[in-house]
Amino acid sequence: MGLDTPRETPHERLGAFLADDLAAVNALIRERMASRHAPRIPQVTAHLVEAGGKRLRPMLTLAAARLCGYDGTHHVHLAATVEFIHTATLLHDDVVDESDKRRGRPTANLLWDNKSSVLVGDYLFARSFQLMVETGSLRVLDILADASATLAEGEVLQLTAARDLATDEGIYLQVVRGKTAALFAAATEVGGVIARAAPAQIAALRSYGDALGIAFQIVDDLLDYGGAADALGKNVGDDFRERKLTLPVIKAVARATPEERAFWARTIEKGDQGAGDLEEALRLLARHGALEATRADALGWAAAARAALGALPDHPLRDMLDDLASYVVERIN
Amino acid sequence: MGLDTPRETPHERLGAFLADDLAAVNALIRERMASRHAPRIPQVTAHLVEAGGKRLRPMLTLAAARLCGYDGTHHVHLAATVEFIHTATLLHDDVVDESDKRRGRPTANLLWDNKSSVLVGDYLFARSFQLMVETGSLRVLDILADASATLAEGEVLQLTAARDLATDEGIYLQVVRGKTAALFAAATEVGGVIARAAPAQIAALRSYGDALGIAFQIVDDLLDYGGAADALGKNVGDDFRERKLTLPVIKAVARATPEERAFWARTIEKGDQGAGDLEEALRLLARHGALEATRADALGWAAAARAALGALPDHPLRDMLDDLASYVVERIN
């Protein structure tokens, strides 16, 4: 299906196909992260933006716009916007999670301080806002404003829901849409909007981004219990130790006996964990088929993402987006 | 000059004149700070928004719009936008400053946690963005995006400049514009823009807000050394103890002998402070007339604010804005 050698990932093929656009995005990001007055801003930003991030979200915007025949330059602004919003979120997340590592490197809050991470995040959010205003499209502004609100709401919801056994799959989905899928969906949708694509195509792009983002996050949560967590730079059971109620545990809690529920209440809600608890958690997940059910959900969302592409024109980029959806769940297949 | 009894402050007279508009702003704020999914959001927001804040910034927007003859409803959206941006900034400021009190009450970061303050701040910023998009005015969006970037840049600049003796009056002014004046200027300017006022009037409104914000901040910094700090809920010398390089000290440093410079380097840059140092600082400020010179600057900015109003139509609100500029510097006059 791919245009290139089968060894390349869909992500690499997208990067090759969109190389000129991506170069323009990177130039714009470098230009806009500068600050005449506050050198701390480009220092902190460069640490994250130039740290070999995958540029997945800006690539989605570029691909959506090109796939719909766009030949202007505003997709570059929107791709940079989306990357700035993402970077601002990472800076604030690392403060909230008190993280000391991201992508195997020390976090900005560790290298500088929480203050810098909070304020530089605010700066990047404001800069993203300036970039999108430059496109002159109120519809694009509306979509990105809504995505920003969903994103922040999801983060707050996660604060209160993460350690509460009453959190069900519906709340989990809201959190995941906030954390990941809202920005994916906005990234693809604004690509279609700026290209003045037909309403059905714009809706399809949005559905693709939403489903891809959800699949992406479920795979992350599954791998945390699934043994392949190394690939994420995490250890098996990190989420359990951090008392994060992710989809596998939510499914196991829903099917728990009273004794099992007491186990989850002690380890997740109260945070009272000892030797052998992770093993017991894995045993309970297996007993109720929670990992298998989570895996099926991820595959279902990836399939939904691919199905949405059916409404879009035949184009090499469409094939790459199709491959990307398969690739996201490949690690659990 | 006032319409009412002389006992009322200009701020109270503005509030009375704009009572219906302010009620609409408060209703909109309450509606938009709600979150169906994350009850933590309205809790944290209400703590700040309903805590008897002066609503000064939204009042500036409402006054500017009405003064220019606006009779629509979008000025209410813009006033709520400005208050949300201000509230988001306060939440993040208290995290950055590690504050435990604001307006005499415990801060949100103390009552809940830093995480909630960071994320609810992000949420309010996103909500402010949605509100302004609803006005459908790209020019308004442009002004508020620029103000947001200036604001965040000023905060970052303050991080690095506050304890650096190389900080001069030019840098101080940038920080003050970021902290205070950028949002004041945007608040008045968007009021004029939404009312489709003439370009010269819009420029005058912007100048008024900018100069008023600068005067406001300089008065704050002066009172910290000036004995009337009680009125601010602060103690004399708080800024000195927190090693904040504000305008009075910047002026004293500029005129310092080598020995005096060593004193400032030790107390502000190194933070090595002991008994008698505050008294010595006050003595040095007096010796170089730094408090008098700072006072003259504040009066100059208040005069500039009043002068800008000359370009605006004759209107009771114009008189109140004039009085407001006088009132801001009254405590130091």
- Give the pLDDT confidence of B209-265 residue by residue, as tens digits: 999 999 999 999 999 887 654 455 567 888 899 898 999 999 999 999 999 999 999
- CA geometry: angle at B137 spanning A138 and B36, to 5°? 65
**Tokens matching residue B254:** 């500029």
- The mean pLDDT value for A277-305 works out to 96
CA distance B149 to A55: 23
| For residue A7, pLDDT beyond 70 | no
Nearest to A38 by CA among A133, A119, A110, A94: A119
Q: What is the pLDDT of residue B43?
A: 80
Average pLDDT, chain B: 90
Q: What is the pLDDT of residue A292?
A: 94
Chain A's closest residue to B167, CA to CA, is A37
Q: Is B257 helix (H, G, I), strand (E, B) or coil?
A: coil
Per the DSSP assignment, residues forming a β-bridge with A105 are: A102
Q: Say if A174 is an interface residue toward chain B (CB within 8 Å).
A: yes
Q: How many CA atoms lie within 13 A of A138 on its CB side?
A: 11
Percent share of chain A, pLDDT over 70:
92
A138 contacts in B (CB within 8 Å)?
Answer: 133, 136, 138
Domains of chain A: residue spans and CATH: 10-332 (1.10.600.10)
Beta carbons of A122 and B95 less than 8 Å apart: no
Nearest to B220 by CA among B231, B207, B208, B210: B231
Size of the A and B interface in Cβ pairs below 8 Å: 139
| For residue A226, pLDDT beyond 50 | yes
Percent share of chain B, pLDDT over 70:
92
CA distance A77 to A61: 10
| For residue A2, pLDDT beyond 60 | no
- Burial of residue A173 (CB within 10 Å: 0-12, 13-18, 19+) is middle
Whether residue A219 contacts residue A332, with contact meaning beta carbons closer than 8 Å, is answered with: yes
A152 contacts in B (CB within 8 Å)?
Answer: 119-120, 122-123, 125-126
Q: How far is B143 from chain A (nearest CA, A)?
A: 9
Q: Is B100 helix (H, G, I), strand (E, B) or coil?
A: coil
CA distance A116 to A108: 8
**Tokens matching residue A293:** 């059910």
pTM of the model: 0.90
Whether residue B325 contacts residue B331, with contact meaning beta carbons closer than 8 Å, is answered with: no
- Give the pLDDT confidence of A86-134 residue by residue, as tens digits: 999 988 988 877 766 666 677 777 667 788 889 889 999 999 999 999 9
Q: Say if A156 is an interface residue toward chain B (CB within 8 Å).
A: yes
Plot region of B38 (φ>0 → left; ψ -120 to 50 → alpha; else → beta) = beta
Within 55-94 of A, beta carbons closer than 8 Å to B belong to 92
| For residue B2, pLDDT beyond 50 | no
- The mean pLDDT value for B105-119 works out to 77
The residues, any chain, with a CB within 8 Å of residue B162's CB and separated by 6 or more, are B175, B243, B244, B245
Whether residue A84 contacts residue A203, with contact meaning beta carbons closer than 8 Å, is answered with: no
B146 contacts in A (CB within 8 Å)?
Answer: 130
Q: What is the pLDDT of residue A191?
A: 98
**Tokens matching residue B30:** 């309450």
Q: Is B106 helix (H, G, I), strand (E, B) or coil?
A: strand
DSSP-assigned states of every residue in B37-76: S-THHHHHHHHHHTS----HHHHHHHHHHHHTT--SSHHH
- Give the pLDDT confidence of B49-63 residue by residue, as tens digits: 776 668 999 999 999
Among A31, A125, A127, A156, the strongest candidate for a mutation testing the B interface, having the largest count of B CBs within 10 A, is A156
Among B44, B84, B133, the strongest candidate for a mutation testing the A interface, having the largest count of A CBs within 10 A, is B133
Q: Say if A230 is an interface residue toward chain B (CB within 8 Å).
A: no
**Tokens matching residue B224:** 């910290």
Whether residue B8 contacts residue B320, with contact meaning beta carbons closer than 8 Å, is answered with: no
Q: Say if A37 is an interface residue toward chain B (CB within 8 Å).
A: yes
**Tokens matching residue B38:** 């994350």
Beta carbons of B152 and A118 less than 8 Å apart: no
CA distance B215 to B294: 10
| For residue A20, pLDDT beyond 70 | yes
A156 contacts in B (CB within 8 Å)?
Answer: 35, 38, 40-41, 116, 119-120, 123
- The mean pLDDT value for A50-77 works out to 92
Question: Which helix or strand (DSSP H or E) is residue A105 part of?
Answer: strand A105-106
